[in-house]
Chains A and B, each alone.
Chain A
Amino acid sequence: MTNLTTSINPSLWWLTVPFIIILFIALRAVNLKINQSILKSLTNPVFLSIGIIALLLVNLKLPYSQFASHSQLLSWLLEPAIVALALPLYQQFMHVRKNLLLIVATCSIGIVNATLVAFVLSILFAVPSQLSASVAALSVTTPITLLVTDSLGGISSLAAAMVIFIGLLGALFGFILLKLVKIYNFEAQGIAIGTACHAIGTAAAIAEHPKIGAFSSVAMALSALLTAVIVPLLYPILVNTLL
């Protein structure tokens, strides 16, 4: 009873990668059929895939270590995929050269703010340093969070789950909040959503208005680069000066 893994044929573990791929493709196909913005955000295929697999592993008492070692091929491919992010980054660069300084400056301030707010909260709640490092790089797309959090000594998988939650919140309530504080400018809305709520927020921004979506894409791409540079430098400074 305590170890169900023994009752599962070890030769079935090779199905891990095909299962993840089929599950994701099926969920993405369903998500693409949905036009309603809130429902589209809630049925985010990454969010649902992670949730369904986590539920399966926990309920069937399957060890995560086995799952991780049998899905290593996918984790390995994440590295070249991050390098390939240079392509959309370059394409967005070409579009916004005129406003580049403003976007870089505001994105940087947004990233510093996110790290600072998370750090102050970790002091207020007196959490262990591993947890504090896990929330230092949340204002960015998931693959970058995984790498940066890992390099800071945090729990990258926890950071990834939180990034997805933040994206969902941004997609569901971001525009309501911005309208509440009376900011209707498309550029301001797009840059804010792209910086704070990355890909999931950007998908909602595209649905809101193509122009907001374009600015959000640019901010998201730049945030990926800026987070990779700023957070690994800023976090040790905060630890050394405020702790």
Chain B
Amino acid sequence: MKYLLSSAIILLCLAISKFIMHLLDASFPAPLLAMVLLLTLLLLGIVKEHQLAPCASPILNVMPIFFIPAGVGFIEHLGLIKSHWPFLTAVILLVPLSSLILVASLVGYFKGRANND
């Protein structure tokens, strides 16, 4: 019963979000809207953590398996990758480098840079 309720909550949020996105004809991904909807329900106390956990915890535990097929799809674009590898390398290096330094410096500005253990 607890598994049924937990999966029903997740699927209902997904169905409502898909319906809303269908009505609005917008390109925002429905699963993300469903995630925000479910988070709102949790914060408002309408859905309780223990009602959601029976299905949510195991599905999150094996979640990486679900995006392996999509990840493999890059082999369809090997030509594009070969011809733009300098750009892709620059993005892989500069995006995390700049974000790491910027975010850490900002938090460090407010909280101090020293070890606070």
Contact = CB atoms under 8 A, between A and B. Distances in A.
Chain A interface bracket (under 10, 10 to 19, 20 to 34, 35 or more): 35 or more
Given A67-B72, A84-B55, A113-B98, A158 B29 contact: no
Contacts of A87: 42, 49, 52-53, 56-57, 60
A64 B75 contact: yes
Interface in B100-117: 100-108, 110-117
Interface in A110-125: 110, 113-114, 117-118, 121-122, 125
A90 B113 CA distance: 28
Main secondary structure of the interface of A (DSSP, over half): helix
Given A85-B35, A86-B39, A118-B91, A156 B70 contact: yes
Chain B interface bracket (under 10, 10 to 19, 20 to 34, 35 or more): 35 or more
Contacts of B107: 102, 106, 185, 187-188, 191-192
B71 A164 contact: yes
Contacts of B117: 186, 209, 211
Interface of A: 20-21, 24, 45-46, 49-50, 53-54, 57-58, 64, 67-68, 71-72, 74-75, 77-91, 93, 102, 105-107, 109-110, 113-114, 117-118, 121-122, 125, 127, 131, 135, 138-139, 142-144, 146-148, 150-151, 155-158, 160-162, 164-166, 169-170, 174, 177-178, 181-189, 191-193, 195-197, 209, 211, 219, 224-225, 228-229, 232
